[in-house]
Amino acid sequence: MNNEDLQAELDTLIATQAGLMAIIGSLMATHPDYEKFQLHLTGLLEVLLTGNAGKTFTSRQRQQARDFVQMLQNINKAPAKIEPLASIANL
């Protein structure tokens, strides 16, 4: 695989991660039981990273996964009512 192919693969991975972050963030923010979702996410991550599934991860990968989930957990709960056009005058 040449450098151009590797760059194309990397670009695809970065774009996919950005899209997944947006999707997951939206699901988290609008989940009907936000607090339960947050707690479950933390517990499940640790089970995955320290159990059989996580045996193949390096310590750096484990920390990166924890950092990623922690970043997602900074997403605030969405307000009960979202009005995207409210800030546009005269509508």
Residue 80 burial by Cβ neighbours in a 10 Å radius (0-12, 13-18, 19+): exposed
For residue range 68-86, list pLDDT tens digits in order.
999 888 888 888 888 878 7
Is 61 inside a domain boundary? yes
Q: Which amino acid is it at 35?
A: E
Counting the structural domains of the chain, the total is 1
Give yes or no for residue 9 having a pLDDT over 80. yes
Q: Would residue 49 count as lying in a domain?
A: yes
| Structural domain contains residue 8 | yes
- Evaluate whether residue 83 is within a structural domain: no
76-80: list long-range contacts, CB under 8 Å, 24+ apart.
76/29, 77/29, 77/34, 78/29, 78/30
In a domain, 89, yes or no: no
Query: 42 and 73 in contact (C-beta within 8 Å)?
Result: yes
67 falls within a domain: yes
**Residue 81: inside a domain, yes or no?**
no
Model pLDDT for residues 10-56, shown as the tens digit of each residue = 999 999 999 999 999 999 999 999 999 989 998 999 999 998 888 89
User: What pTM does this model have?
Assistant: 0.69
Pairwise CA distance, residues 18 & 11, whole Å:
11
Residue span of the structural domain in which 14 resides:
3-72
